[in-house]
Amino acid sequence: MTERAMQEPTLLLLTALADAPRHGYALIQEIDAISGGRVKMRTGTLYGALDRLLQQGLIEVAAEEIVDGRARRTYALTGGGRDLLAVEAERLRSVAAEAQRRLGGAPVPRGATA
């Protein structure tokens, strides 16, 4: 699993679940926010990814409830998912650090990455 870089939708999805369990629409909103509006995950794509991550044991269903008459299932990271995300975050951090070092050590201003 750690042999190759994680695909961006998977990374965004796991990141969106890293601080708290979330339901489907909240995940779409979080991914939109984390990616700075660049990735707008659609419902079918989201559930395709959720089903895959559930099957891989990287996430789990944390709660199933009815809120205001609406079915709501909340998803959370498993221990394996948390470990995998940590490994990927470390890999990205070291690449970013190396990129900054080669650029002369000057930190890139926030929002100037486009």
> Residues interacting with other proteins, by CB under 8 A?
4, 7, 9-10, 24-25, 28, 42-49, 51-52, 55-56, 69-73
End-to-end CA distance of the chain: 29
> Is 21 exposed, middle or buried (CB count within 10 Å of its CB: 0-12, 13-18, 19+)?
middle
Q: How far is the CB of 97 from other proteins (least distance, A)?
A: 24
Q: How far is the CB of 106 from other proteins (least distance, A)?
A: 32
Q: How far is the CB of 28 from other proteins (least distance, A)?
A: 6
